[in-house]
Amino acid sequence: MMASASIDYRNAVLLAVVVFATLCACEAKSPYAVGLSEDFYEKTCPQAAAIVDAYVTKFLRKDRTFAGAFNRLQFHDCWVGGCDGSVLLNSTGSIQAEREAHVNFGLRGVAEIDEIKAGLEYFCPGVVSCADILIMAARDATAKVGGPTWPVAMGRRDGVNSTALMADTNLPFPVLNFSGLVANFAAKGFSAKEMITLSGAHTIGQSHCNGILPHLYNFTGKDDATDTDPAMNKNFAVFLKKLCPQGNRTNTIFIDSTASTFDRAYYKNVLHGKGIFMTDSALITNPLGKKVVRSFSKPGSSFFTEFAAGMVKMGNLGVLTGTEGEIRKTCQFVN
C-alpha cells in the first residue's frame, strides 16, 4: 500500500508539471499577429509554400536582383496601411494607386507576384491571399541569395484601398536624415537599431537613378552640379555620376557592390562613404548609428538574425484576418 501510494503521488506530481508546462506554453506570447499561423494553409492549400518557392527560384534564375525587388515590395506594402497587398493594386479611373506614388518610382516584381498568384489559383482557387504571397516571396528570395531565412505565418487577407497619397505620407523618402528615419520607423513601432537593421535590405537589388540624384547633385540646394553630399566618397561619387547623369531618372544601378548576394558588404560600403542613397549615408551621422553599422559590418555579427526578426515583425503590421478584406482572384484588381 505504501509503495502504491508513493507511485500515485509521483504520478499526480508529474501530471501537474505537464499541465503547468502546457499552460505556460499556451500563454507564451506568439511572435505573430492575432489570426496568423505557420500552418494556416495546411488543410486548404498545403502546397502553397512549395509553389511560391518554385516561382521565386524561376525568377531569380532569370535575374537575381528580384530578391531586392521582393524585399522592397514587402516593405512598401506593410508600411502603408499594413501588410494587405495594397501595393499591388492598379490605379482606377478616379484613384491613383500606391504604385503611382513618387516614393514608389521604379517598383518591380508586381507582374511576378501576379504570376505566382495565377499558379496558386490553379491548384487552390480563392484560398491564398496576395498579401501572404508577398511575405513568402520576400523570405524565399532572401534565403536563395545567401541571406537568412525565417518562419512565416500566414492568414493575411487582401485590402481593397490603395492611394498614392497613403504611400507618400507613410514611406520614408530617400532624402531623410537620421532623425527623420528614426521618426518614420518609430511611427510603426520600430527602434533606431531595427531601422538600421532593415536598411540592410539595400545589400541586394538595384535602383533607378531617381532615388540617387539628390545625393549627387544640388545636395544643399545651390543648383550646382558639383554640389554633392560631402559624406560620399569622392571617387565613388564620380563613378555614380557616370551611371546617373544629372536629370536622368530612369537608368538603373546596383545598390551594393555585391548586389546579387545578401551579405554584410552594405555596411562596409556605408562606413567608407559608398552608400547609394542619402538615407544610407545618414546612418553614420549619428553615434549610435555608426556603432551599429560598424558592428554589422564585421564577420559573426548578429545582422542576419536581427534582419530575420525585423522581417517577421514587419509582417505583423496592420494585417487583415478572418472576414476582413478579401482574397483577390488577381493581385492587381479588387474582386
Three-state DSSP state, 319: coil
Is 98 known as a binding-site position? yes
Is 300 known as a binding-site position? no
For residues 185 and 195, give the distance between their C-alpha atoms in angstroms, rounded to a whole number. 6
Contact assessment for residue 157 and residue 324, using Cβ atoms and an 8 Å cutoff: yes
Is 245 known as a binding-site position? no
Is 53 known as a binding-site position? no
Q: Helix, strand, coil: what percent of the chain each, to 5? A: 50, 5, 45
DSSP 4: H
126: Cβ contacts below 8 Å, ≥ 6 apart: 327, 329
Is 287 known as a binding-site position? no
Is 203 known as a binding-site position? yes
For residues 82 and 242, give the distance between their C-alpha atoms in angstroms, rounded to a whole number. 38
Three-state DSSP state, 82: coil
Is 80 known as a binding-site position? yes
Among the listed residues 131, 137, 133, 136, the one whose alpha carbon sits nearest the alpha carbon of residue 151: 136
For residues 95 and 76, give the distance between their C-alpha atoms in angstroms, rounded to a whole number. 18
Sort 168 into a burial class: Cβ within 10 Å, 0-12 / 13-18 / 19+. middle
Is 202 known as a binding-site position? yes
Separation in Å, CA 184 to CA 88, 164, 170, 262: 22, 18, 8, 25
- H runs (alpha helix) in the chain: 2-27, 48-62, 66-78, 110-123, 130-144, 164-170, 178-186, 192-199, 213-216, 234-243, 265-271, 278-282, 287-296, 303-314
Is 82 known as a binding-site position? yes
Q: Say how many residues make up the chain.
A: 335
**Long-range pairs of 293-296 with CB within 8 A, sequence gap ≥ 24:** 293/196, 293/267, 294/267, 296/196, 296/197, 296/200, 296/264, 296/267
Any idea which residues carry the catalytic annotation?
76
Contact assessment for residue 69 and residue 205, using Cβ atoms and an 8 Å cutoff: yes
Residue 170: what residue type?
Answer: N
- Annotated binding residues, written as ranges, equal 77, 80, 82, 84, 86, 98, 172, 202-203, 256, 263
Residues placed in the known binding site for substrate: 172
List the binding residues for heme b.
202
What residues are designated binding site for Ca(2+)? 77, 80, 82, 84, 86, 98, 203, 256, 263
